[in-house]
């Protein structure tokens, strides 16, 4: 890449003095791209020895126009970039106001802080949603016990030994200890016991599946239904 002249901050079109003469409106002032665009035709120079312009005023006009267009484009460009920076910085300021104790923090540290807060809050929010959808059952959480199923359970003549419903926080623990009457045949008892276990497993799996379906892809909810002891 070659060197070029740069006028910082000011967009003025004017003349530049050289030792050979007056270089009219050199595109070099506006960067390599502009210079290249004008390099296809020869430079417009006032020869100090012969005292005349090398090119016609018509072409000079065209050059003025295209040069001004380039200047305008470059000006628009820098102003657009300025707006973009302002937009991003406004968001940085908003974040500084959102993160406690980050009023005067530099961009990198601020972003790091934002990231840690985001991770932290995501974890907390996951727990919160887990709790809330635990205590307010959705339609999909409903598990129907059909009459014939209930009759099947009734046929076992089960005796409820213990029924425990304990809640801590928003978690619930249900314990049902059931047994059959001693009069029943052991064989029949074991068969029914297996059937009950399978049925309850199916219910728990359906429950888990529906819960899985409700989960967001990156959710890290803890499982609510864990162990089933037959």
Partner DNA sequence: CGTGACACGTGAAGC
Partner DNA sequence: TGCTTCACGTGTCAC
Which one of DNA, its own copies, none interacts with residue 63, CB within 5 to 8 A by kind? Answer: none
Q: Nearest CA to 9 among 74, 68, 73?
A: 74
Nearest distance in Å: CB 52, DNA: 31
Which of 3, 6, 49, 57 touches DNA (CB under 7 A)? 6
Contact between 91 and DNA (CB under 7 A)? no
Q: What residues line the site for its own copies (CB under 8 A)? A: 1, 3-10, 19, 29, 32, 84, 87-88, 91-92, 94-95, 98, 100, 107-108, 111-112, 114-115, 117-119, 121-122, 124-125, 127-129, 131-132, 135-136, 168-170, 217-218
Q: Can you state the angle between helices 57-98 and 107-135, rounded to 10 degrees? A: 50
Nearest distance in Å: CB 91, DNA: 11
Q: Nearest CA to 7 among 113, 110, 78?
A: 78
Q: Are 25 and 63 in contact (CB under 8 A)?
A: yes
Tell me phi and psi for residue 146, to 5 degrees. -70, 150
* Long-range pairs for 157-161: beta carbons < 8 A, 24 or more residues apart: 157/181, 157/184
Query: For residues 7 and 48, which CB has a smaller minimum distance to DNA in the complex?
Result: 7
- DSSP class of 224: S
**Residue range at the interface with DNA (CB under 7 A); choices 72-80, 166-174, 182-190, 198-206:** 72-80
Q: Is 62 helix (H, G, I), strand (E, B) or coil?
A: helix
Binding site for DNA (CB under 7 A): 1, 4, 6-9, 30-34, 69, 73-82, 84-86, 89, 106-108
């Amino acid at each position: 890449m070659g060197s070029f002249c740069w006028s910082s901050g000011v967009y003025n079109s004017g003349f530049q003095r050289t030792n050979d003469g007056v270089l009219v409106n050199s595109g070099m002032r506006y960067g390599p791209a502009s210079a290249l665009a004008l390099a296809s035709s020869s430079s417009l120079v006032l020869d100090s020895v012969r005292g005349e312009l090398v090119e016609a005023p018509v072409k000079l006009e065209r050059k003025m126009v295209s040069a001004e267009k380039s200047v305008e484009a470059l000006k628009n460009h820098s102003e657009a970039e300025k707006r973009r920076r302002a937009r991003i910085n406004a968001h940085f300021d908003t974040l500084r106001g959102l993160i406690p104790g980050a009023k005067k923090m530099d961009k990198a540290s601020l972003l790091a802080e934002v990231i840690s807060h985001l991770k932290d809050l995501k974890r907390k929010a996951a727990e919160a949603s887990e709790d809330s959808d635990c205590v307010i059952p959705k339609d999909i959480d409903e598990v129907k016990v059909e009459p014939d199923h209930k009759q099947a359970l009734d046929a076992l003549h089960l005796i409820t030994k213990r029924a425990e419903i304990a809640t801590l926080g928003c978690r619930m623990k249900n314990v049902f200890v059931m047994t059959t009457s001693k009069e029943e045949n052991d064989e029949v008892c074991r068969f029914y016991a297996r059937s009950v276990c399978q049925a309850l497993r199916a219910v728990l799996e359906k429950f888990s599946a529906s819960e899985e379906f409700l989960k967001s892809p990156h959710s890290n909810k803890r499982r609510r239904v864990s162990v089933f002891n037959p």
